[in-house]
């Protein structure tokens, strides 16, 4: 007979809090195989194995939304493979940013040791690096605002335009087209990409941005102009 576990026992075996197990049940990520007559959760050995996998996904940095998709996908390893690649690309981008910051810090430290002060140029370079990061975060917010307006037009604008009739649908189609073209142009101007192989940055023009496949979470499918590597690249701030 297979062993069963209570919520507390499952939490202890996986080194998490009881509330975590309860929360995952509430979110539909891991449901107990059955309930006792008193309504208590009862987990099986299969549930334990699945929860250990969930804990692994969480430790690897995946969001609860991504983990839920994995648990609902029939071919979980295919999905996991793509998710891991995406996670690697995010880490590569963070590594590149940290490497640039570390190089600047090393230059500053060397200047202090040699001259006892910091050159004005070095201070400006560090400021520029921080400003670029802040500016890129702001552009990300603006992109989401554009997308929100676009979705609002699709959901509410078109039904209203067709109910009014006349040239209203044509006007709405024109506004939506201009908005999406403007969003693509704006995205091309304020973003760059980091190659996951050579770790170099590159930018793309409007037409390349328009025709390149967009994986949303995975980024854009592009070819690195530096090393020729082809794949999904996440955006970052331009040089």
Q: What is the mean predicted confidence (pLDDT) over 6-16? A: 91
CATH class of 4-72: mainly alpha
Domain spans of the chain?
Answer: 4-72, 79-236
What pTM was computed for the model? 0.40
- Report helix angle 120-152 to 168-190, nearest 10: 160
Range in 34-48, 55-69, 89-103, 144-158 with the lowest mean pLDDT = 144-158
Terminal-residue alpha carbon distance, the chain: 63
Task: Please give the pLDDT value at position 193.
Answer: 74
> Do 89 and 234 form a contact (C-beta atoms < 8 A)?
yes
Residue 48 has pLDDT above 80, yes or no: yes
> What span, in angstroms and rounded, lies between the C-alpha atoms of 30 and 15?
16
Residue 137 has pLDDT above 70, yes or no: no
Task: Please give the pLDDT value at position 43.
Answer: 92
Long-range CB contacts (within 8 A, 24+) of 224-230: 224/195, 224/197, 224/198, 224/200, 226/195, 226/198, 226/200, 226/202, 227/195, 227/197, 227/198, 227/200, 229/195, 229/196, 229/197, 229/198
Task: Please give the pLDDT value at position 112.
Answer: 75
Task: Please give the pLDDT value at position 10.
Answer: 92
Residue 204 has pLDDT above 70, yes or no: yes
């Amino acid at each position: 007979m297979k062993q069963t576990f209570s919520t507390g026992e499952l939490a202890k075996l996986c080194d998490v809090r009881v509330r975590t197990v309860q929360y995952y049940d509430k979110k539909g990520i891991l449901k107990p195989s059955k309930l006792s007559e008193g309504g208590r959760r009862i987990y099986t050995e299969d549930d334990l194995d699945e929860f250990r996998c969930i804990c692994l996904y969480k430790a690897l940095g995946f969001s609860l939304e991504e983990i839920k998709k994995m648990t609902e996908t029939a071919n979980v390893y295919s999905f996991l493979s793509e998710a891991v690649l995406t996670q690697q690309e995010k880490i590569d981008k963070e590594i590149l940013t940290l490497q640039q910051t570390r190089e600047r810090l090393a230059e500053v430290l060397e200047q202090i040791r040699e001259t006892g002060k910091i050159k004005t140029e070095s201070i400006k370079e560090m400021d520029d690096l921080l400003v670029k990061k802040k500016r890129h975060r702001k552009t990300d917010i603006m992109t989401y605002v554009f997308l929100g307006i676009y979705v609002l037009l699709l959901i509410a604008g078109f039904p209203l335009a067709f109910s009014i009739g006349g040239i209203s649908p044509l006007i709405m189609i024109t506004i939506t087209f201009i908005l999406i073209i403007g969003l693509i142009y704006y995205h091309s101007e304020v973003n760059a990409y980091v190659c996951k192989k050579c770790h170099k940055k590159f930018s793309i023009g409007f037409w390349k941005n328009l025709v390149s496949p967009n994986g949303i979470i995975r980024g854009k499918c592009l070819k690195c102009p530096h090393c020729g590597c082809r794949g999904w690249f996440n955006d970052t701030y331009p040089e």
